[in-house]
A and B are shown apart, each in its own frame.
Chain A
Amino acid sequence: ETGVTQTPRHLVMGMTNKKSLKCEQHLGHNAMYWYKQSAKKPLELMFVYSLEERVENNSVPSRFSPECPNSSHLFLHLHTLQPEDSALYLCASSQDRSGTYEQYFGPGTRLTVT
């Protein structure tokens, strides 16, 4: 599959569970992003990785833990989440500092915390 892929597409987890979201980009990009999309809110940037180094963490609670093992893969590890964390989690990638700024989004993981 081309572009940006995310797995799983849907996830239901209890507040005591531990799970991970996976993102993979096949575009040769060097920057990757995690966004949270909740109803009636703008897209919230959570984390940014550039060349596998985390360059931004927007005051995200520690129950969300990102990991970027290489420029093609990005994970979001989840533990002891709250019901208000239920949302669509979108991954995106871009080619940093190339003069092009477009971000390509994955299909998202719909997360429900019970």
Chain B
Amino acid sequence: GENVEQHPSTLSVQEGDSAVIKCTYSDSASNYFPWYKQELGKRPQLIIDIRSNVGEKKDQRIAVTLNKTAKHFSLHITETQPEDSAVYFCAAHRWGGALGRLYFGRGTQLTVWP
């Protein structure tokens, strides 16, 4: 199966600084890489994703980069704000059997200090 490693497990930044979370995956057959944000007591919500045929994708203050050769992908948040504080999960999708599956990293607790 797939193995997704995520670092760091906790990250604290000052408001306005950038934050970077990194993930690696093991299976070159993985073809889709979403990032989920989970605020305290709430459901995980997709914030950005990237497919294996794309190297970078940006949506306002967030961006994701993918290096297929090295099997790693990263989430970049610029101009961080206190409301960015949450747990962020990366995941890798691959087909297994009759259905695609998402394999999740352990999560990164991001804290943005005002």
Contacts and interface: CB of A to CB of B under 8 A. Distances in A.
B98 interface: yes
B112 to A, nearest CB: 21
A101 B102 contact: yes
Given A48-B99, A50-B98, A56-B97, A105 B105 contact: no
Interface residues on B, range: 20 to 34
Interface stretch (B11-19, B40-48, B60-68): B40-48
Given A43-B89, A90-B44, A55 B34 contact: no
Interface residues on A, range: 20 to 34
A37 B60 CA distance: 30
B93 A101 contact: yes
A108 interface: yes
Given A43-B89, A108-B43, A103 B102 contact: yes
A31 interface: yes
Contacts of A56: 97, 99, 101
B43 A102 contact: no
A105 B98 CA distance: 21
B104 A31 contact: no
Interface string A90-114: 1000101100011111111000000
Contacts of A4: 43
Interface of A: 4, 31, 40-43, 45, 48, 50, 55-56, 90, 94, 96-97, 101-108
